[in-house]
Homo-oligomer: A and B are copies of this chain.
Amino acid sequence: MLSIPTLQHIYKSYADTQRFNQKPASLYEPINYLLGLGGKSMRPTLVLLAANLFSAQVEKALPQAYAIELFHNFSLMHDDIMDKSPLRRGQPTVHIRYDENTAILSGDAMLVYAFQYIAQTNADLLAPILQIFTHTAIGICEGQQLDMDMAAAPTATVDEYIAMIRLKTAVLLQASLEMGAIIGGADQSQAAILGSFGLNLGISFQIQDDYLDTFGQAAQVGKRIGGDILENKKTFLLLKALELANPEQKATLSRLLSTRPLNEIEEQEKITHVTALFQSLNIAQLTQDFAQHYYQLAVDDLQRLQLPPDKATYLLDFAHYLLNRQS
């Protein structure tokens, strides 16, 4: 097995040769801008990793890895318009740097190009790869819609939240591993189990993200602790708290949610009070347990795969690293 940094390096070397230099520049420059903002390339690395489990020739999976990354960046470009996000990776989002029309159309082009890279798949594997990719892309559109619907709704349940993050986030990790495995020569059943591993890991990862936003250490998370609380974001933490709160606690929480802090002192107060209420409901522990539950499902998937021990250990280390990161 190649190491993660080696896989990342192989991917980045390929991606660097795939710049969009076509005309009109007004369509393609924003694509290069967003792709150039960096990022960890986690998803394309997963594609290569999965291919490498079944084949030494990871290069075969590069077009599919790039398709996944293009799709991911298309969804960021459009989601940032819809969520009115000013920043992406610390830089102006495309609709701010250019304008909304540009972000719509350049995003559309990226989505089509993702399919063009999928089209580079060998004829014998094209049908299953295309099928996974379209199915996943539809799921992600549904996930973004569920996210927006949930943000606008007065309330939501933990189950609805899990259904949303499953589609919005986890299915792309699932597809990355499943597609990579198929390109590497895995049979459909192995590929599906590896995909399930990715799905469960993705859900675990997102729950852990929610945890860190409230209970992480600012220095390690790299952003302000409590951002989700200030936004009244319907995270696992908040929805679980609303589920468990007694009438009195629910009233306190509702009151806290309705406050609009006017300065940093009031913001810190809101964060402190909501966090204290979470603590009184044991939310930190319950969240960790829930993330651990999905992590365990991922580990169970690995066992079903019956990989040689060195490969199983490799994947387990990787999963462990993802779940136990502090940032």
Contact = CB atoms under 8 A, between A and B. Distances in A.
A43 interface: no
Main secondary structure of the interface of A (DSSP, over half): helix
Contacts of A105: 78, 82, 141, 144-145, 148
Interface string A136-152: 01100110111011000
A3 interface: no
Nearest to A110: B141
A14 interface: no
Counted per complex, copies of this chain come to: 2
B134 A116 contact: yes
Point out which of A101, A118, A131 has the most chain B C-beta atoms below 10 A from its C-beta.
A101
Contact of A119 (B22, B23, B130): B130
A82 B112 CA distance: 18
Interface centre among A26, A126, A141 (most CB of B within 10 A): A141
B112 A112 contact: no
Contacts of A135: 116
A5 to B, nearest CB: 33
Contacts of A27: 141-142, 145
Nearest to A124: B123
A115 interface: yes
Given A105-B82, A142-B24, A130 B134 contact: no
A111 interface: yes
A242 interface: no
A59 to B, nearest CB: 20
- The 7 A-B residue pairs with the shortest CB-CB distance, nearest first, are A27-B145, A109-B141, A116-B134, A112-B137, A82-B101, A119-B130, A24-B145
